[in-house]
């Protein structure tokens, strides 16, 4: 046993949470002094009765929060000047602050933009039990070829050095030409979307694309924006924030119910390949009706193609944005699913009439995305790494999806019916029986299973009940374990 | 002479522009075939009668546009699949498209957000004459320690690999804790701004900080926002886009004329250390009056401290945002000046009552800034590289500033009076005589000198005439040459 533990830490508070909390508290109150060397993670793991990985995670968190530093080949030390204890922001509980735009204080907006808020909850889990995370739209970064990306980035950073200043001044533009050219090739191959580099606007992920489109296409207080219901809550926040009047439109087995779109809708947001979150692919008939509507009324269609790279059997429909529809459709793509959300890169394939204004608005938002990231991703695509990674991940997801659908069919027939889909990284399953899936999901959360029920995705009253099984970060074993826990919960 | 030139290129079109244009055209029309090896830049320079640097720049541009590829140690080749010729976006000349929010089509907004649009003009310069770029807010990236930044970034990218997925999912947050902790230290030392990591929101540069503050502090159609006039045009676009009523307030020798602020102003935007663009430091008396105004009325002050790291002789006033003013002031900092604009990183030191809402709005805008960039900058700061770079650049700027002020005093006394200032990377000089400085600036642009006259910075009618001398990218020799050309123009 390392003597440090005996001096500085209370052996009472064991477990994963104890490990992080104890070391942090000991640093803050001075029991562990600046410069003190921490025991190896192996020893900490043994002392706290947790797995080595758990100890590594706790050390990583302390490292990223600035409490400890790692010196290569020499160990881990308490920093010379530990950060101040984080202060918890006071809950606005009382009267809202009058200095703030009241929009952001609306409870529905707070809930919708807080969509990912349960994110950090895993730290409250019992020791040794990693979360089984079935939330959709998550990506397992441990499968990402970091070494290749690092090399691509470093090479690009080296090129930046030789450029004179004005090339990199905060000028407004649509994004790096090299990246736009690479995207043209990529979406041509993976999505049969044919466009030119000049049709593209690089954005900070799909979320900024939504915000940018909302701000350029919506006239505040006037424009009606039709959205899918259920849909992706943070997307509707972007449109609401821009002053749009949201018009929720139902989804059926053929996708968006086009007949329900209000005649005066200026914008229609839709995920035709893989409806979020239900997973339905929009039928050919509906696509034709939607495009005809847009041509007739002048409405603009926003196609959110968030996981279009991952297409499985049975999917014959490509993107809605074909060459014929180029004037009606703003196509939104993202590198958050096929690479990593942490890169914050996405793009819009925009109609010619919108490019100039989208560029001006992007300049107002933040000029452009960071050059090193744009350059790194451009090289990563151009050298073929992205296609190789997509092919690899497609097989990983195919296996997870197959297992999930098999088990749902075999063990959950009484409760759940999977919604047919042919793309992506999640499967939705609708309730067969009248069951409170919110309560089921809440109960499972306490056991470390993160599973979303349908309800949080609805803007209007939920028209269906069920659950979403995202398989971006759960491997085959975790899928089995999670489903076993769900089955137990359903069987009551 | 390389035989390629003789076959493929017309020797008639020489000069810098000719070099880029000719090679590009030859690739596009097939005279230079995919895989063909380009002559070394040395040979190209000789053939086109330009400097080696000019040839390197032209090759760099072709490289970044995807026309050619460099293979280490082997040379430069025409890419196998050259990009399509860029299409120039059609000028909206005719009736504005009804599908767009008319805000972005307003001529004043187009002009203000197009502030940097003359950026690319250097390519039209005569051969061998690089632009003398006196525009403010530009940074010479050739002086940046890229190798250190690359190493800091690579080390951080390596750490990302070991983290489970949920840590990097598109969760909303205020920015990486490590970066926020590093910023706390940095601004404590350089600006005497005392805050905690939890007071910080990381943004995509100062521009996103303005946009974020505008969207959270402005109630559309209602809030009055006082801005400095003259001021930074892209900042006022952000507030106008959020639906603010802009109230321009004059600047005198003591800075913002506080008495002119409308009594009902909800927000007051100000650069107290180094007014942009005039350079005045706000007097202690005015600072006290401004803070008293804010305390009395509940107005929020936005302090834009864009180049506060570069303080020279005579500057005794620190940031407006002291601990006492923490509840009234949102302090905006940026890494665009002390590091590089291409990184797109800035931050807000926010009052406690605004943190939660700013975080929600940041999530709606783009969730968070790219993790690799945040992590790289955090390490760059924590390892002391930023302070070393700032100290180095402070001496570089000090010398440029001294030369500029000396020459202005010696040679331009009849025309210009420098505005006293003690910070930054530019000096403003007011007109002594009634001269059309817009015409002077325009005339110089044709000779390769980029010099802004005051007029473009005003929202209201210009109250003063003069020119801005940015010295971020001009070295001592370039300052001499630029001033000589200006003198000739004035004397002419």
pLDDT digits (tens, 9 = 90+) for A120-153: 444 444 455 568 999 998 888 889 999 899 888 8
Nearest to A226 by CA among A249, A259, A242: A249
Contact B218 A139 (CB under 8 A): no
Average pLDDT over residues A27-37: 76
Buried b (16+ CB within 10 A) or exposed e, B397-418: beebbebbbebbeebbeebbeb
Work out the pLDDT band at B15, boundaries 50, 70, 90: low
Average pLDDT over residues B310-334: 88
Cα(B174)–Cα(B197) distance, integer angstroms: 9
Cα(B157)–Cα(B166) distance, integer angstroms: 16
Contact B86 A164 (CB under 8 A): no
Among the partner residues A139, A170, A181, nearest to B165 by beta-carbon distance: A139
Cα(B408)–Cα(B417) distance, integer angstroms: 8
Q: Is A142 on the interface with B (CB under 8 A)?
A: yes
B170 CB neighbours in chain A (<8 A) are 116, 137, 205, 207, 336, 341
Q: Which two tokens stand for residue A43?
A: 């020893």
Return residues 208-237 of B near A (CB < 8 Å). Answer: 208, 211, 215-220, 223, 234, 237
Winning range, highest mean pLDDT, from A4-8, A453-457, B158-162: A453-457
Task: Locate the chain A residue with the closest alpha carbon to B300.
Answer: A99
Task: Locate the chain B residue with the closest alpha carbon to A139.
Answer: B165
Displacement of CA A337 from its chain's centroid (Å): 7
The per-residue pLDDT for A220 is: 95
The per-residue pLDDT for B128 is: 54
Surface-to-core class of residue B14, CB atoms within 10 Å of its CB (0-12 exposed, 13-18 middle, 19+ buried): middle
Closest Cα in chain A, distance from residue B29 (Å)? 18
Return residues 314-343 of B near A (CB < 8 Å). Answer: 336, 340-343
Work out the pLDDT band at A88, boundaries 50, 70, 90: very low
Work out the pLDDT band at B56, boundaries 50, 70, 90: confident
The per-residue pLDDT for A75 is: 78
Please, are residues B136 and B468 in contact by the beta-carbon 8 Å criterion?
yes
Average pLDDT over residues B129-135: 82
Surface-to-core class of residue B198, CB atoms within 10 Å of its CB (0-12 exposed, 13-18 middle, 19+ buried): buried
ipTM value of the model?
0.81
Contact B142 A161 (CB under 8 A): yes
Task: Locate the chain B residue with the closest alpha carbon to A69.
Answer: B382
Contact B110 A360 (CB under 8 A): yes
Q: What is the mean pLDDT of chain A?
A: 86
Work out the pLDDT band at B308, boundaries 50, 70, 90: confident
Residues 6+ apart with CB under 8 A from A32: A4, A8, A23, A26, A38, A78
Name the residue with higher pLDDT: B369 or B27: B369
Torsion (CA) B113, B115, B119, B122 in degrees, nearest 10: 140
The per-residue pLDDT for B166 is: 40
Q: Is B445 on the interface with A (CB under 8 A)?
A: no
Contact B64 A168 (CB under 8 A): no
Return residues 376-415 of A near B (CB < 8 Å). Answer: 376, 382
Return residues 185-204 of A near B (CB < 8 Å). Answer: 185, 196-198, 203-204
Q: Is the pLDDT of residue A39 over 70?
A: yes
Contact B153 A149 (CB under 8 A): no
Please, are residues B241 and B214 in contact by the beta-carbon 8 Å criterion?
yes
Among the partner residues B86, B243, B344, nearest to A369 by beta-carbon distance: B344
Q: Which two tokens stand for residue A412?
A: 């959950």
The per-residue pLDDT for B8 is: 55
The per-residue pLDDT for A256 is: 98
A363 CB neighbours in chain B (<8 A) are 113, 116, 207, 234
Closest Cα in chain B, distance from residue A403 (Å)? 21
Strand, helix or coil at A105? helix
Task: Locate the chain B residue with the closest alpha carbon to A80.
Answer: B382
Task: Locate the chain B residue with the closest alpha carbon to A115.
Answer: B171
The per-residue pLDDT for A343 is: 93
Work out the pLDDT band at B304, boundaries 50, 70, 90: very high
Average pLDDT over residues B137-147: 88
For residue B427, what are the β-bridge partners?
B469
Q: What tens digit of pLDDT does each residue of A217-268 get?
A: 999 999 999 999 999 999 999 999 999 999 999 999 999 999 999 999 999 9
Closest Cα in chain B, distance from residue A27 (Å)? 16
Work out the pLDDT band at A315, boundaries 50, 70, 90: low
Rounded to the nearest 10 degrees, what angle do helices A146-160 and A371-382 cross at?
Answer: 120
Contact A99 B354 (CB under 8 A): yes
Contact B211 A238 (CB under 8 A): no
Cα(B253)–Cα(B283) distance, integer angstroms: 8
Name the residue with higher pLDDT: A235 or A308: A235
Q: What is the mean pLDDT of chain B?
A: 86
Nearest to A315 by CA among A385, A389, A398, A216: A398
Residues 6+ apart with CB under 8 A from B201: B174, B175, B209, B212, B347, B348, B350, B355, B358, B359, B362
Q: Is the pLDDT of residue A417 over 90?
A: yes
Closest Cα in chain A, distance from residue B370 (Å)? 5
Closest Cα in chain B, distance from residue A487 (Å)? 24
Average pLDDT over residues B385-396: 95
Contact B146 A166 (CB under 8 A): no
Q: Is the pLDDT of residue B336 over 80?
A: yes
Average pLDDT over residues B94-99: 75
B218 CB neighbours in chain A (<8 A) are 101
The per-residue pLDDT for A117 is: 63
Work out the pLDDT band at B222, boundaries 50, 70, 90: very high
Residues 6+ apart with CB under 8 A from B437: B431, B453, B454, B455, B465, B466, B467
The per-residue pLDDT for A1 is: 42
Task: Locate the chain A residue with the closest alpha carbon to B177.
Answer: A65
Q: Is B89 on the interface with A (CB under 8 A)?
A: yes
Name the residue with higher pLDDT: B19 or A193: A193
Q: Is the pLDDT of residue A45 over 70?
A: yes
- Give the angle A331-A335-A337 at the CA atoms, nearest 5°: 100
Task: Locate the chain A residue with the closest alpha carbon to B354.
Answer: A100
Closest Cα in chain B, distance from residue A69 (Å)? 11
Contact B64 A368 (CB under 8 A): no
CB atoms within 10 A of CB A168: 21
Nearest to B98 by CA among A298, A343, A472, A21: A298
Contact A114 B168 (CB under 8 A): no
Closest Cα in chain A, distance from residue B338 (Å)? 13
Q: Is the pLDDT of residue A336 over 60?
A: yes
Buried b (16+ CB within 10 A) or exposed e, B17-50: bbbbebbbbbbeeebbeeeeebbebeebbbbbeb
Q: Which of B102, B197, B239, B370 to mutate to test the interface with A (most CBs of A within 10 A)?
A: B370
Among the partner residues A92, A354, A473, nearest to B165 by beta-carbon distance: A473
Residues 6+ apart with CB under 8 A from B276: B136, B228, B231, B232, B304, B306, B457
Task: Locate the chain A residue with the closest alpha carbon to B68.
Answer: A178
Q: What tens digit of pLDDT does each residue of B370-383 get?
A: 999 999 999 999 99
Q: What tens digit of pLDDT does each residue of B236-286 get?
A: 999 999 999 999 999 999 999 999 999 999 999 999 999 999 999 999 999
Work out the pLDDT band at B231, boundaries 50, 70, 90: very high
Surface-to-core class of residue B131, CB atoms within 10 Å of its CB (0-12 exposed, 13-18 middle, 19+ buried): buried
Among the partner residues A89, A102, A171, nearest to B356 by beta-carbon distance: A89
Q: Which of B123, B170, B353, B384 to mutate to test the interface with A (most CBs of A within 10 A)?
A: B170
Q: What percent of chain A has pLDDT over 90?
A: 59
Contact B113 A360 (CB under 8 A): yes
Name the residue with higher pLDDT: B115 or B187: B187
Closest Cα in chain A, distance from residue B416 (Å)? 26
A131 CB neighbours in chain B (<8 A) are 166
Winning range, highest mean pLDDT, from A158-162, B40-44, B67-71, B183-187: B183-187
């Amino acid at each position: 046993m390392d003597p440090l533990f005996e001096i500085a830490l209370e052996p009472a508070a064991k477990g994963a949470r104890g490990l992080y909390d104890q070391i942090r508290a000991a640093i803050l109150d001075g029991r562990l002094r600046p410069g003190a060397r921490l025991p190896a993670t192996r020893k900490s793991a043994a002392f706290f009765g947790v797995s080595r990985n758990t100890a590594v995670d706790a050390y990583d968190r302390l490292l990223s929060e600035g409490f400890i530093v790692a010196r290569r080949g020499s160990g881990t030390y308490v920093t010379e000047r530990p950060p101040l204890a984080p202060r918890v922001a006071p809950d606005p509980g009382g009267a809202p602050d009058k200095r703030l735009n009241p929009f952001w204080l609306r409870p529905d907006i707070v809930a919708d933009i807080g969509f990912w808020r349960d994110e950090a909850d895993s730290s409250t889990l019992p020791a040794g039990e990693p979360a089984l995370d079935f939330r959709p739209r998550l990506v397992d970064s441990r499968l990402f070829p970091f070494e290749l990306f690092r090399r691509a980035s470093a090479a690009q950073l080296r090129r930046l050095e030789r450029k004179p200043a004005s090339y990199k001044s905060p000028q407004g533009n649509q994004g790096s030409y090299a990246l736009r050219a690479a995207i043209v090739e990529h979406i041509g191959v993976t999505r049969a979307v044919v466009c030119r580099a000049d049709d593209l606007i690089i954005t900070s992920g799909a979320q900024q694309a939504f915000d940018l489109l909302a701000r350029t296409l919506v006239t505040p207080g006037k424009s009606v924006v039709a959205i899918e219901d259920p849909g992706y809550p943070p997307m509707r926040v972007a449109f609401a924030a821009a002053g749009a009047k949201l018009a929720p439109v139902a989804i059926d087995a053929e996708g968006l119910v086009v007949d329900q779109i209000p005649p005066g809708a200026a914008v229609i947001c839709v995920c035709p390949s893989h409806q979020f979150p239900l997973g339905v692919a929009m039928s050919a008939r509906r696509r034709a009706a939607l495009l005809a509507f847009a041509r007739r009324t002048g409405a603009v269609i926003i196609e959110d193609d968030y996981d279009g790279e991952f297409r499985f059997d049975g999917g014959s429909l490509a993107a809605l944005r074909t060459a014929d529809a180029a004037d009606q459709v703003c196509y939104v793509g993202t590198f958050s699913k096929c690479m990593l959300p942490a890169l914050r890169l996405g793009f819009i394939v925009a109609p010619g009439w919108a490019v100039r204004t989208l560029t001006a608005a992007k300049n107002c938002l933040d000029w452009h995305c960071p050059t090193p990231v744009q350059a790194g991703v451009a090289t990563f695509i151009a050298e073929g790494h992205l296609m190789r990674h997509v092919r690899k991940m497609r097989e990983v997801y195919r296996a997870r999806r197959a297992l999930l659908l098999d088990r749902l069919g075999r063990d959950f027939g009484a409760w759940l019916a999977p919604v047919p889909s042919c793309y992506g990284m999640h499967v939705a399953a609708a309730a067969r029986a009248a069951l409170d899936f919110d309560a089921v999901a809440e109960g499972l959360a306490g056991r470390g299973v993160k599973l979303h029920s349908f309800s949080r995705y609805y803007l209007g009253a939920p028209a269906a009940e069920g659950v979403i099984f995202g398989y971006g970060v759960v491997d085959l074993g975790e899928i089995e374990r999670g489903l076993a826990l769900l089955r137990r919960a359903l069987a009551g």
